[in-house]
Structure 1
Amino acid sequence: MNAVGHKFFDFLYKYGTLITILLLIAVFGASTDNFLNGANIVTILRSISIVTIIAIGLTVSLAVGGFDLSIGSTASLANAIVISMFVWYGQSTGIGIAVAIVFCLVVGLVNAFLVINFKIQDMLMTLATMFVFQGIALTYTRGATISENMILPSGDYATGEIPDAFGAIGKVPWIIIIMLIVVLAVHLFLTYTKHGRYMYMIGGNPEAAKLSGIAVGKYRLAAYLISALFAGVGGIVLGARVMNAEVNAGAPYLMDAVAAAFIGYSVFGAGKPNAFGTFAGAVLIGILSNGLIMLSVPYYAMDIVKGSVLAVALAITYYKRTH
Structure 2
Amino acid sequence: MTDHAASSSKPASTFAETARKYALFVLLAAMLVGFWSAQPAFINSANLFSILQAVSVVAILGVGVSITMSAGGFDLSVGSVAASSVMAASYAMVVLQLNAFETLGLVLLMGAFIGLVNGLLIVRVGVPDLLATLSTMFLLAGLQLIPTGGRSITAGMMLPNGTTAAGAYDPAFLILGRARLFDTVPYPVIVMAIVAILAWFLMERTRWGRVFYAIGGNETAAHLAGAPTKAYRLWAYVLSGTLASLGGLIVASRVGRGDVSAGNSLLLDAVAASLIGFAVLDKRRPHVLGTVLGAIFVGVLLNGLTMLNAPYYTQDFVKGVVLVGALALTFGLGKKKR
- In structure 2, the partner of 1:281 is 294
- In structure 2, the partner of 1:64 is 71
* Residue identity in the other structure for 1:89: L
* Residue identity in the other structure for 1:250: G
Q: 2:137 aligns with which of 113, 127, 130?
A: 130
CA-to-partner distance for each residue in 1:160-182, whole Å, 9 max, x for gaps?
Answer: 11111110100233111111000
Q: 2:257 aligns with which of 232, 244, 255?
A: 244
* Residue identity in the other structure for 2:192: M
Contact 1:134 1:248 (C-alpha < 8 Å) held by counterparts: no
C-alpha distance in 2, partners of 1:156/1:242? 24
Gap runs ≥5 in structure 2: 1-8, 181-185
After the TM superposition, which residues 135-284 of structure 1 pair with which residues of structure 2 at under 5 Å, given as runs? 135-171=142-178, 172=180, 173-284=186-297
Contact 1:264 1:277 (C-alpha < 8 Å) held by counterparts: yes
TM-score norm. by structure 1 comes to 0.95
C-alpha distance in 1, partners of 2:312/2:155? 29
Contact 2:149 2:160 (C-alpha < 8 Å) held by counterparts: no
CA distance change for structure 1 residues 132 and 84 in 2, over 3 Å: closer, same or farther? same
C-alpha distance in 1, partners of 2:330/2:52? 26
Per mean C-alpha deviation after superposition, the further-off stretch among 74-83 and 218-227 is 74-83
Contact 1:72 1:231 (C-alpha < 8 Å) held by counterparts: yes
- In structure 2, the partner of 1:92 is 99
Contact 1:138 1:248 (C-alpha < 8 Å) held by counterparts: no
- In structure 1, the partner of 2:6 is none
C-alpha distance in 2, partners of 1:244/1:316? 41
- Report the alpha carbon displacement of residue 6 of structure 1 after superposing the two structures with TM: 4.1
Q: 2:62 aligns with which of 55, 61, 64?
A: 55
- In structure 1, the partner of 2:25 is 18
Q: How many residues align?
A: 322
C-alpha distance in 1, partners of 2:126/2:18? 38
- Report the alpha carbon displacement of residue 303 of structure 1 after superposing the two structures with TM: 0.2
Contact 1:17 1:263 (C-alpha < 8 Å) held by counterparts: no
Contact 2:282 2:330 (C-alpha < 8 Å) held by counterparts: no
1:82 to 2:95 alignment: no
Per mean C-alpha deviation after superposition, the further-off stretch among 119-128 and 313-322 is 313-322
* Residue identity in the other structure for 1:267: V
- In structure 2, the partner of 1:109 is 116
CA-to-partner distance for each residue in 1:54-94, whole Å, 9 max, x for gaps?
Answer: 11111111110111010000001111111111000110111
RMSD (Å) for aligned C-alpha atoms: 1.7
1:298 to 2:311 alignment: yes
SS in 2 for 1:282: helix
Contact 2:279 2:327 (C-alpha < 8 Å) held by counterparts: no
